[in-house]
Amino acid sequence: SNSFCTLLAVSTGSKIAMAATFARMMFGAAAGGATCMWAAPVEAKEVYHSPYPPTATNSKVYFEIEISDKGSWFGGFDKRDAGRIEFELFDDVVPLTARNFRELCRGTQGQTPDGYKMHFKGSSFHRIIPGFMLQGGDFTKGDGRGGASIYGARFKDESFAGRAGKHIAPGLLSMANAGPNTNGSQFFITVSKTSWLDGKHVVFGQVLNGMEVVREIEKFGTQGGKPTAAITIRDCGVTSDPTGTFKDKGLK
């Protein structure tokens, strides 16, 4: 049985677990109860801390993520809930930018002029580059060419002061754009420090919980950015909004 166990040990991931179970079934009660004396390697888990200490007076929102791919052990179609990502929005630094994201999570701002509901629910992460970032928020075209803000098609860069201008760590939430003052609904989540983006993209939030889900999504990225699976925001919403009395002062 030991040689059989050695052969089984070459498998990885879920195959290891299945192989080990099979080995126990085949040999656990035989030859005086001989069993496989090896264990699958354990992958070290990332210990995540948000880049900045949370601020109680800032709003909190969430994404529920669904992953659909053909990566199951038997080669079939695999559609599963990947978990929840919880964000803090930097209302204290960039309230207009934070409000835009929060309301697109809430989904109560009506429709775009061409009839798309202004809501992240059902939209996807269309660009994923391992070691860099995950990009989503295009709820109109789904390919990075669309989206809209609650203020209109585009709005200006609110600020690059303090936290709003620094991509110092994994887990930061920042606005995707097509150049200065072209913010809409698209955003990205950093998976590493990306300091070359400082002063070019407005940082407006951070991951509080669920960085393991971010890392899971990252696995489906490519260097060209095209995901190898469909990564969908199955649901989203607002869990805390201390800024509920905030009034839009407009953009100049």
CA–CA separation, 13 and 17 (whole Å): 7
Token readout for 125 is 């992460």
Is 154 an annotated catalytic residue?
no
Token readout for 204 is 């407006």
Instruction: Please identify which of the residues 102, 197, 208, 220 carries the catalytic annotation.
Output: 197
Instruction: Please identify which of the residues 87, 101, 132, 139 carries the catalytic annotation.
Output: 132
CA–CA separation, 169 and 50 (whole Å): 9
Is 89 an annotated catalytic residue?
no
Token readout for 77 is 């179609």
Instruction: Please identify which of the residues 4, 84, 109, 177 carries the catalytic annotation.
Output: 177
Number of Cα atoms under 13 Å in the Cβ half of residue 16 = 12
Q: Which helix (H) or strand (E) holds 125?
A: strand 125-129
Instruction: Please identify which of the residues 58, 100, 135, 206 carries the catalytic annotation.
Output: 135
Question: Distance from first CA to last CA of the chain, Å, rounded?
Answer: 75
CA–CA separation, 42 and 183 (whole Å): 42
Is 197 an annotated catalytic residue?
yes
SS3 201: coil
Q: Which amino acid is at 25?
A: M
The CA R_g of the chain, rounded to the nearest whole Å, is 22
Spatial CA neighbour of 189 closest among 122, 121, 131, 114? 131
Is 127 an annotated catalytic residue?
yes
Spatial CA neighbour of 171 closest among 236, 218, 139, 223? 218
Instruction: Please identify which of the residues 119, 127, 163, 167 carries the catalytic annotation.
Output: 127
Token readout for 153 is 């098609």
CA–CA separation, 82 and 96 (whole Å): 30
Instruction: Please identify which of the residues 167, 201, 204, 220 carries the catalytic annotation.
Output: 201
Is 102 an annotated catalytic residue?
no
List residues with catalytic annotation: 127, 132, 135, 177, 188, 197, 201
